[in-house]
A and B are shown apart, each in its own frame.
Chain A
């Protein structure tokens, strides 16, 4: 037993989970703010603890920005009545939110979010099958949703769960297929090695742009975001799979959705946009000093936030796909496209060798 390893791993887990949770809370705020701006509104700008008005400039500014809104939202979720409908299958009803959240949080474990600080590599688990692990875990996420739809014992959640299972399984395939060219080019499944390859040869999005497009669209579908939010289509299914949920259990589904967004953004950054590297200022090499190490983490976070904003931006732009269009896009467009993409990449690599 290497105590050093255990302690540092625990610290990293705590920090990463904390950061992801914080990002989830504030991406809800970002969602509301950005939607407001896009719709010519103002967004949440009132919530503030009472002492804030005594701080001269900063207090009103933060209040207008809605910085305290997530705290109020969280408090509201905690204090609301946790209601279990009479017909619900209680055990599954309680289990489903946890099953939805856990895979969402687990995905982040293999993402390298920085090079190194001291001798510690800034990744929780440097697996040599990192991508396989991610795909394995991400596909578990659907069980929480299906189980929620089933356990609620109500028709709309059931529809939501069924739609979700079909959708996520369909897009899982194109997603996995879209990654294969990347793996062919790099020749390694380890995410740290993929980043190292990108820092040497340039960002992967230049080599496999089609993979990126397919991966991005598939990750929209995987995270149940608009234009693929059929499992929770408000206009059709009341609230979809979480219709019958309330209080903290409902919040857990929210948490799962946004954690999935964070994880997908992190995967996109890692696979296609060079992870924590930047091609200038020598930021593409593992850090030698503490400052550079922290800077690289910030670079990673900045890239991550960019993709989070894209996720949110797209949500407030698109109408929802019809269900047959969704399936058509997944199976008849993206899957052949991904297969052709693999073939072209393989042929190209073969010609070069």
Chain B
């Protein structure tokens, strides 16, 4: 059973289309004046103007350094294992490889590559990292001339990641250890 929608019949004046035309011209003129003289454009001119990224935004994953400027990553390869699109590739130092450049760590990766073409910005590497060495920062725009340039190596990732001041895992661990000397534990 079809439903009949009652339409109000148009009056003679409305039937002339003229009020609708005048109304339309008014609306479009208002928009034109607004975007021409009052800067009310809704578009953003991309390369010059950029979005303000909110806190907690999951951008590109980068390696970070600790307060002393040392590599935090210990080459445990958990992020490589967990990475869903297999974007991370870590080359461990091996038996006689380079030792870590900081105390409290046994080793650091010989090479650490993230393929930004594969990365899906899921944040699992950040979640899984026991050393809090990899973070999803706010970068969302990657530009390169070819595919090879989109594979970021350790040096580049460390440079882009910078020093991450907020989390000082080993300092807290030390405090915990010291606190355990006296009983009961109060942390």
CB contacts (< 8 Å) of A206 on chain B: these are none
* Residue A238 at the chain B interface, CB threshold 8 Å: no
> Chain A's nearest CB lies how many Å from the CB of B32?
4
Neighbour of A41 across the interface among B21, B27, B29, B35, CB < 8 A: B35
Chain A residue with the shortest CB-CB distance to B45: A42
> Chain A's nearest CB lies how many Å from the CB of B155?
35
CA distance A34 to B36 in the complex (A): 10
* Residue B25 at the chain A interface, CB threshold 8 Å: yes
Size class of the A contact interface (CB-based, 8 Å): 10 to 19
> Chain B's nearest CB lies how many Å from the CB of A248?
31
Contact: A41 with B28, CB < 8 Å? no
* Residue A313 at the chain B interface, CB threshold 8 Å: yes
CA distance A40 to B35 in the complex (A): 5
Q: Residue-by-residue, is B27-49 near A (CB-CB < 8 Å gives 1, otherwise 0)?
A: 11101101110001111010000
CB contacts (< 8 Å) of A36 on chain B: these are 35
Contact: B31 with A38, CB < 8 Å? yes
CA distance A42 to B29 in the complex (A): 15
> Chain B's nearest CB lies how many Å from the CB of A171?
16
Contact: B28 with A40, CB < 8 Å? no
* Residue B24 at the chain A interface, CB threshold 8 Å: yes
Q: A42-B41, A42-B45 are in contact. Are A317 and B35 (CB under 8 A)?
A: no
CA distance A199 to B42 in the complex (A): 46
CA distance A42 to B21 in the complex (A): 25
* Residue A316 at the chain B interface, CB threshold 8 Å: yes
The residues in A between 158 and 199 inclusive whose CB is less than 8 angstroms from any CB of B are none
Neighbour of B36 across the interface among A37, A39, A45, A318, CB < 8 A: A37
The residues in A between 300 and 322 inclusive whose CB is less than 8 angstroms from any CB of B are 313, 316-318
Q: A317-B24, A317-B25, A318-B24 are in contact. Are A39 and B45 (CB under 8 A)?
A: no
CB contacts (< 8 Å) of A41 on chain B: these are 35, 41-43
CA distance A38 to B25 in the complex (A): 10
Chain A residue with the shortest CB-CB distance to B26: A317
CA distance A37 to B24 in the complex (A): 15
Contact: B25 with A37, CB < 8 Å? no
Contact: A37 with B45, CB < 8 Å? no
CA distance A93 to B34 in the complex (A): 44
The residues in A between 31 and 64 inclusive whose CB is less than 8 angstroms from any CB of B are 34, 36-42, 45
Chain A residue with the shortest CB-CB distance to B30: A38
CA distance A313 to B25 in the complex (A): 8
> Chain A's nearest CB lies how many Å from the CB of B186?
60
Q: Residue-by-residue, is B100-122 near A (CB-CB < 8 Å gives 1, otherwise 0)?
A: 00000000000000000000000
Contact: B42 with A40, CB < 8 Å? yes
Q: Residue-by-residue, is B6-27 near A (CB-CB < 8 Å gives 1, otherwise 0)?
A: 0000000000000001001101
Contact: A313 with B35, CB < 8 Å? no
CA distance A38 to B42 in the complex (A): 11
Contact: B24 with A40, CB < 8 Å? no
Contact: A39 with B24, CB < 8 Å? no
Contact: B28 with A38, CB < 8 Å? yes
Chain A residue with the shortest CB-CB distance to B15: A333
CB contacts (< 8 Å) of A45 on chain B: these are 45
CB contacts (< 8 Å) of B45 on chain A: these are 42, 45
> Chain A's nearest CB lies how many Å from the CB of B166?
39
CB contacts (< 8 Å) of A316 on chain B: these are 28
Contact: A34 with B32, CB < 8 Å? yes
CB contacts (< 8 Å) of B24 on chain A: these are 317-318
Chain B residue with the shortest CB-CB distance to A217: B17
Contact: A37 with B32, CB < 8 Å? yes
CA distance A45 to B31 in the complex (A): 19
Chain A residue with the shortest CB-CB distance to B18: A213
> Chain B's nearest CB lies how many Å from the CB of A38?
5
CB contacts (< 8 Å) of B31 on chain A: these are 37-40
Contact: A40 with B43, CB < 8 Å? yes
The residues in A between 13 and 38 inclusive whose CB is less than 8 angstroms from any CB of B are 34, 36-38
A-B contacts, 10 listed (Cβ < 8 Å): A38-B28, A38-B31, A39-B31, A40-B31, A40-B40, A41-B41, A42-B41, A313-B25, A317-B25, A317-B28
Among all A-B residue pairs, the 7 with the closest Cβ atoms: A37-B32, A317-B24, A40-B42, A317-B28, A38-B28, A37-B35, A40-B35
> B-contacting residues of A (Cβ < 8 Å)?
34, 36-42, 45, 313, 316-318
Known: A40-B35, A317-B28; 7 extra A-B contacts, CB below 8 A, are A37-B35, A40-B31, A40-B40, A40-B43, A42-B45, A313-B28, A313-B29
